[in-house]
């Protein structure tokens, strides 16, 4: 069964998506160019990564043939017998998405005004227009690999179905096309941050160097360090990996794919 959730842009559809999906036993959510299955992004590219609003609309409608093919193939693999929630700004948009992805037309249609209060819709519009915030109905840990370098915030959603209370995590992202602007951070700054963090750990001597590798889904940090004599090297290097990943991700919003550490010198 296909369920449609319809509402104007910025009225809180994606915020309500996890609740509506749970209440309608929908394991699959199609939202803004993404196919989300059991809280994981399994196909697609988010419209929120596009640089213009026009490009974002095309992405949400799966206008790119390769994008649409990827989504169709994944849906054929996972969708048999499962309910699907399709989110759009109008009935025509939802129908077009369904046709493009070879899905049945909606059996059930819900409107944001039916499930959200006037105050909730007003709040959602304020967050969109004044702060440029958008919600993605998937956990931050899952989303960050697709939005490396974007400002992400986890958002807990609570709701009840009968006597059972549910807790779900959604993610708030500020996309590139937000009129509020964007920030950049140089490779050198990230390398210095990583090296400073490593040098701050007991057992790591001053000096060394950091080299950054950039990928679409995140970064790889390569560290060459001087170590002090008297520490267990394997434990120390593991600690460096954990601490550098934690600090760099916290300070930069980049997704750290891997931290490689090499002990170049042993200082006695």
170-189 per-position pLDDT tens digit: 788 765 544 455 566 788 99
Do 192 and 103 belong together in one domain?
A: no
Q: What is the dihedral of CA 97, 65, 71, 39, to 10 degrees?
A: -80
Do 11 and 65 belong together in one domain?
A: yes
Do 199 and 151 belong together in one domain?
A: no
Closest listed residue to residue 101, CA positions, set 57, 35, 26: 35
CATH of the domain at 220: 3.30.70.1350
Taking every pair of C-alpha atoms in the chain, what is the biggest distance, in angstroms? 73
Tell me the C-alpha distance between 135 and 111, whole Å. Answer: 17
pLDDT over threshold 80, residue 155: no
pLDDT score of 235: 94
Do 34 and 165 belong together in one domain?
A: yes
Do 88 and 148 belong together in one domain?
A: yes
Do 131 and 230 belong together in one domain?
A: no
Tell me the C-alpha distance between 101 and 96, whole Å. Answer: 9
Tell me the C-alpha distance between 154 and 145, whole Å. Answer: 14
Do 156 and 204 belong together in one domain?
A: no
Q: Using the 3D structure, point to which of 157, 178, 199 is the last residue of a domain.
A: 178
List the structure tokens of 250: 């916290």
List the structure tokens of 257: 């794919």
Tell me the C-alpha distance between 4 and 253, whole Å. Answer: 33
Q: For residue 9, what are the contacts with CB-CB under 8 A and spacing of at least 6?
A: 89, 128
Global pTM?
A: 0.71
Do 174 and 197 belong together in one domain?
A: no
Average pLDDT over all residues of the chain:
87
Tell me the C-alpha distance between 135 and 18, whole Å. Answer: 11
227-254 per-position pLDDT tens digit: 999 999 999 999 999 999 999 988 887 8
DSSP string, 34-82: EEEETTEEEEE--GGG-SSHHHHHHHHTT-SHHHHHHHHHHHHHH-TT-
Do 17 and 82 belong together in one domain?
A: yes
Tell me the C-alpha distance between 128 and 121, whole Å. Answer: 11
Helices then strands (H, E): number in the chain? 9, 12
Q: Using the 3D structure, point to which of 178, 197, 225 is the last residue of a domain.
A: 178
pLDDT score of 213: 92
Q: Using the 3D structure, point to which of 178, 199, 225 is the last residue of a domain.
A: 178
| Domain span including residue 241 | 187-266
pLDDT score of 28: 95
- The number of domains in the chain is 2
pLDDT score of 162: 67
Do 158 and 242 belong together in one domain?
A: no
pLDDT score of 153: 75
- Provide φ and ψ at 5, rounded to 5°: -120, 115
pLDDT score of 99: 96
| Average pLDDT, integer, range 252-267 | 90
pLDDT over threshold 70, residue 201: yes
pLDDT score of 98: 96
């Amino acid at each position: 069964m296909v369920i449609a959730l319809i509402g104007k842009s910025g009225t809180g559809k994606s915020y309500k998506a996890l609740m509506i999906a749970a209440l309608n036993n929908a394991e699959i959510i199609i939202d803004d160019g993404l196919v989300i299955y059991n809280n994981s992004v399994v196909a697609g590219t988010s419209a929120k990564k596009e640089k213009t609003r026009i490009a974002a609309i095309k992405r949400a409608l799966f206008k790119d043939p390769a994008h649409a093919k990827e989504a169709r193939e994944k849906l054929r693999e996972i969708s048999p017998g499962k309910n699907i929630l399709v989110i759009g700004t109008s009935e025509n948009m939802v129908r077009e998405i369904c046709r493009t992805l070879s899905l049945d037309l909606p059996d059930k249609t819900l409107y944001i005004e039916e499930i959200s209060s006037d105050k909730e819709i007003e709040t959602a519009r304020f967050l969109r227009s004044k702060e440029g915030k958008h919600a993605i109905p998937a956990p931050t840990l899952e989303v960050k690999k697709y939005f490396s370098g974007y400002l992400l915030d986890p958002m807990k959603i609570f709701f009840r179905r009968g006597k059972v209370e549910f807790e779900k995590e959604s993610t708030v992202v500020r996309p590139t096309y937000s009129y509020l602007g964007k920030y950049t951070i140089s490779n050198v700054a990230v390398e210095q941050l990583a090296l400073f963090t490593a040098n701050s750990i007991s057992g790591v001597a001053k000096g060394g160097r950091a080299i950054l590798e950039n990928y679409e889904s995140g970064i790889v940090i390569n560290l060459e360090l001087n170590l002090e004599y008297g520490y267990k090297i394997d434990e120390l290097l593991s600690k460096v990996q954990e601490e550098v990943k934690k600090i760099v991700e916290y300070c930069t919003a980049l997704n750290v794919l891997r931290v490689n550490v090499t002990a170049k010198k042993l200082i006695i």
